[in-house]
Amino acid sequence: MRAGRLLSILLLLQNRGRMTAGELATELGVSVRTVYRDVDALSEAGVPVYADRGRAGGFQLLGGYRTRLTGLSEDEARSLALAGLPDAAAELGLGTVLGAAQLKLFAALPEQLRAGAGQVAERFYLDVPGWHREVERLAHLSDVADAVWRTRRLRVDYRRWDGSAACRTLEPLGLVLKAGVWYLVARCDGSDRTYRVSRIVTMSDAGEFSRPDGFDLAEYWRVWSEGFERRMYSETATVRLSPLGRRLVPVYLGSVGAAALETAQAEGGEPDEDGWCTVRLPVEAGRPGVGELLRFGPDLEVLEPEQLRTAVAEAIAATAARYTR
């Protein structure tokens, strides 16, 4: 543990130049006192670390000293696939490993390439979750990830979306982070399925399994996602939309709504004299679909089916009655 920390200090000073004890402590997740002890250990080992005392002081390497101890461990090499997703790496228990791997890569780069790589990190940032939500903080995520790495079966107690319980034996094939939500792709009873990690209540190891040859996680997720959207938006509503309502469709209904607008335009649906136009929109069945359409407020009118029009009208009337009491 300490040997890895000493190497990290050495690589940090090599890559960034002068750093204060406080900055090193923050990077390494240790106390300032520990940093001072580690720097003393490096000096005793013959590493030329120079310390500037005082408020503006810090540590730096003398004479262009560089280490070539930049070999990546297996875990560090794996973590590089998450180099653009530091929060995800941390959730998987790879945050510190990823940081060490990045330090080693920077140290191994020529000076010009190292400067360019640093500028990319300073100028571009990937923020995965959607607005007003964060990546899920999950008690079992790192253990699930470990089972994926080591091809270990899991026996899980799982809570379905409707609150009912299920017990499953899963062969974990991969993890997917979608809009801040973690999903486990696993084989169960001979078929590949998708499970939301937050719904795993308890889990235990159930032995090793053989990962299927040729399984493509990205392709599985593409096909499953397309099918999920079709199942989710299983019904169609004919609606009238104001100009503002049309602009809100991609915001509220995403890509499936945007595609419906493009289809309507391709079929020659022209706005009326007030700027409203008739469009067929995909909607969820039942109450969720009513809620989606109510988000448009006065900029959408449901024409068909009659049952959906009645449901939306009743919801509007109930809301209006509550505000006129």
State residue 295's pLDDT score. Answer: 92
Q: What gap in Å lies between CA 218 and CA 195, rounded to an integer?
A: 16
Which DSSP string do the residues of 239-280 spell out, in sequence order? EEE-HHHHHHHHHHHHHHHHHHHHHHHHTT----TTS-EEEE
State residue 207's pLDDT score. Answer: 94
Percentage of the chain beyond pLDDT 70 is 71
State residue 208's pLDDT score. Answer: 94
pLDDT at 65 over 70: no
Closest C-alpha to 205, from 159, 165, 175, 169: 169
CA-based Rg of the chain, rounded to a whole angstrom?
A: 28
User: What are the b/e assignments for 244-263, b being 16+ CB within 10 Å?
Assistant: ebbebbeeebeebbeebbee
Contact between residue 154 and residue 204 where contact means Cβ atoms under 8 Å apart: yes
Closest C-alpha to 181, from 138, 234, 231, 119: 138
pLDDT band for position 284 (50/70/90)?
A: confident
pLDDT band for position 98 (50/70/90)?
A: very low
pLDDT band for position 125 (50/70/90)?
A: low
Q: What average pLDDT does the segment 76-100 reach?
A: 47
pLDDT band for position 268 (50/70/90)?
A: low
The answer to which of 44-48, 147-151, 168-172 has the lowest mean pLDDT is 44-48
pLDDT band for position 194 (50/70/90)?
A: very high
The answer to which of 22-36, 76-90, 107-121, 295-309 has the lowest mean pLDDT is 76-90
Write down the mean pLDDT value for the chain. Answer: 78
State residue 122's pLDDT score. Answer: 60
Q: What gap in Å lies between CA 189 and CA 166, rounded to an integer?
A: 14
pLDDT at 89 over 70: no
pLDDT band for position 162 (50/70/90)?
A: confident
Q: What average pLDDT does the segment 189-203 reach?
A: 92
pTM of the complete model beyond 0.75: no
